[in-house]
């Protein structure tokens, strides 16, 4: 029995060590801070929502008074239009901006952007049958030509070549259909729900449409790309010869970049079409779409984009420039606070950290009417606070806890930024309370540990009982066999030796 106990001792020690280890791990997990599931605050509303099929005049005329003849919102020929801040997307003026329209060749804004993002400028694109003999404007592509992607982008944006746009689509995705899927995927990424594209060039199709508001978002995204900006601000470009054709010369269709002979009407003044501070970007026309144009203007530190859909002839240029001048004379981009600015400080419950600073996740910038700047106010709210106004731990640095905004005097939100926690507030665990800040994880771990210890103790008792019972049976058997009571000190091996001696031997004597 002594030998058996010696053999059992290491196993018992191992079990005890495992119990101690599990208890320690459970204690550690009870103090761990779980991941926060706090969501982002709602996005800002930058203008009244217009039904996608609406034809009502949704003009914004904040600038009246204080800016001379430009103080009054412009009167437009276009059926739909919008003016936005190119950097922030703030809406400064709109007219039926949510109505569905055909975008014509303004479609090529997105086509070119996707080509820039997916093709190297010097990558050679082979022209296939899908990119030749397409109706409308063309750069005269021939099947089998090998052309640099860079040349095709110039051809699509300057000459508005439908064949160049198709060639880029095939170069990126192999077919026009797959490229259209890519276009719509990008549209979805931008959060646009009133736009659908079925081709890369913009020829009329009942399923090919957008809105002035959506097209402005696409244009703002494209103008963030330095290569795109270079293309659309270029007046003329010489395309190098190819394996099948000589040099070709492209000229930008946007008259605001070059035309000093034709005049346009801007707030009653007849001025040359070539206009200062214009940065591009794209014109378009079909019989159904009418004259369309997207125009960028940068003056000093302000940059605005105007979108005009379904206008008439040169009035499309007048509409665009009039909106841009209205914006430049009436609106300023104001940085109210920089990223990291402390907006609020709130108490924290359930943590050693007693208070939390809530700071701006980004710069709080708004495009405001500079003639009414005093009419704007900055405020915010803490969405993660309890009814007592305190925040509840755990909180991780960077968790969204509220929003800050700039509002005009009429209650319209013109800018909005998330408020985030400046540091981490770990949750405390109250060992005397069955409820913990981690949702009961500490209590559950303690119960589990106690249960494991109890089971292991029960197993140990059973093992010892079995061993003792076996030893008792051996002693009783020895007593019956030899007529003497064996003490606990008798080695069972000695009993077996005596038993073997008394056995009859087989074989010779």
Q: DSSP state, 119?
A: S
| Of residues 172, 193, 192, the one with CA closest to residue 182 | 172
Residues annotated catalytic, as ranges: 105, 108, 160
Spell out the SS3 assignment of 296-316. Answer: EEEECCEEEEEEEEEECCCHH
DSSP SS3 for 100: coil
Q: How many CB atoms lie under 10 A from the CB of residue 73?
A: 21
Residue 280's contacts (CB-CB under 8 Å, 6 or more residues apart) are 223, 229, 231, 232, 233, 254, 257, 295, 296
Residue 314's contacts (CB-CB under 8 Å, 6 or more residues apart) are 255, 262, 264, 273
Residue 394's contacts (CB-CB under 8 Å, 6 or more residues apart) are 33, 34, 36, 350, 351, 424, 425, 426, 427, 437, 438
Q: DSSP state, 36?
A: P
CB burial of residue 11 (10 Å; 0-12, 13-18, 19+): exposed
Q: Say how far apart CA 187 and CA 114 lie, in whole Å.
A: 11
Tokens, residue 318: 């007048």
Q: Say how far apart CA 189 and CA 185 lie, in whole Å.
A: 6
Half-sphere exposure of 280 (CA within 13 A, CB side): 23
Are 93 and 361 spatial neighbours (Cβ–Cβ below 8 Å)? no
Report residue 450: phi and psi, to 5°. Answer: -60, -40
The length of the chain, given as a count of residues: 509
| Of residues 44, 78, 69, the one with CA closest to residue 306 | 78
């Amino acid at each position: 029995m002594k030998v058996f106990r010696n053999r059992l001792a290491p196993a018992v020690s191992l079990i005890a060590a495992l119990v101690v280890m599990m208890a320690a791990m459970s204690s550690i997990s009870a103090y761990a801070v779980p991941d926060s599931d706090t969501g982002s605050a709602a996005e800002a509303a930058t203008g009244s929502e217009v039904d996608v099929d609406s034809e009502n005049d949704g003009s914004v005329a904040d600038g009246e008074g204080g800016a001379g003849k430009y103080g009054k919102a412009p009167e437009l020929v276009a059926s739909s239009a919008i003016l936005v801040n190119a950097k922030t997307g703030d809406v400064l003026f709109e007219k039926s901006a949510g109505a569905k329209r055909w975008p014509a060749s303004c479609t090529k804004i997105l086509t070119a952007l996707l080509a820039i993002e997916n093709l190297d400028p010097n990558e050679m694109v082979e022209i296939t049958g899908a990119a030749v003999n397409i109706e409308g404007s063309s750069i005269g592509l021939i099947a089998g030509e090998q052309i640099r992607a860079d040349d095709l982008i110039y051809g699509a944006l300057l000459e508005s070549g439908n064949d160049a746009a198709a060639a880029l689509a095939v170069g990126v995705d192999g077919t026009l259909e797959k490229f259209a899927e890519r276009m719509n995927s990008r549209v979805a990424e931008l959060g646009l729900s009133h736009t659908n594209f079925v081709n890369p060039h913009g020829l009329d199709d009942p399923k090919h449409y957008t809105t002035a508001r959506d097209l402005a978002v696409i244009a703002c995204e494209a103008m963030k790309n330095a290569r795109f900006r270079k293309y659309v601000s270029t007046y003329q470009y010489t395309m190098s010869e190819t394996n099948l054709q000589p040099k070709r010369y492209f000229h930008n269709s946007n008259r605001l970049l070059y035309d000093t002979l034709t005049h346009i009407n801007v707030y009653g003044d007849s001025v040359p079409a070539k206009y200062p501070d214009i940065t591009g970007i794209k014109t378009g026309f079909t019989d159904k779409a009418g004259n369309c144009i997207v125009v960028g203007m940068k003056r000093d530190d302000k940059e605005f984009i105007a979108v005009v859909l379904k206008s008439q002839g040169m009035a499309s240029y007048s509409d665009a420039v009039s909106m841009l001048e209205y914006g430049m004379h009436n609106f300023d981009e104001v940085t109210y606070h920089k990223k990291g600015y402390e907006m609020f400080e709130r108490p924290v419950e359930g943590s050693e950290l007693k208070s939390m600073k809530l700071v701006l996740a980004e710069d709080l910038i708004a495009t405001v009417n500079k003639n009414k700047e005093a009419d704007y106010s900055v405020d915010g709210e803490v969405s993660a606070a309890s009814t007592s106004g305190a925040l509840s731990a755990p909180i991780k640095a960077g968790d969204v806890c509220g929003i800050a905004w700039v509002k005009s005097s009429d209650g319209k939100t013109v800018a909005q930024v998330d408020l985030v926690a400046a540091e981490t507030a770990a949750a405390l665990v109250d060992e005397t309370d069955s409820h913990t800040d981690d949702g009961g994880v500490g209590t559950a771990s303690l119960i589990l540990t106690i249960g494991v210890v109890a089971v292991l103790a029960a197993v140990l008792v059973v093992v010892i009982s079995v061993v003792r019972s076996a030893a008792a049976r051996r002693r009783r058997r020895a007593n019956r066999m030899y007529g003497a009571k064996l003490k606990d000190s008798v080695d069972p091996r000695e009993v077996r030796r005596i038993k073997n001696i008394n056995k009859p031997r087989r074989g010779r004597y």
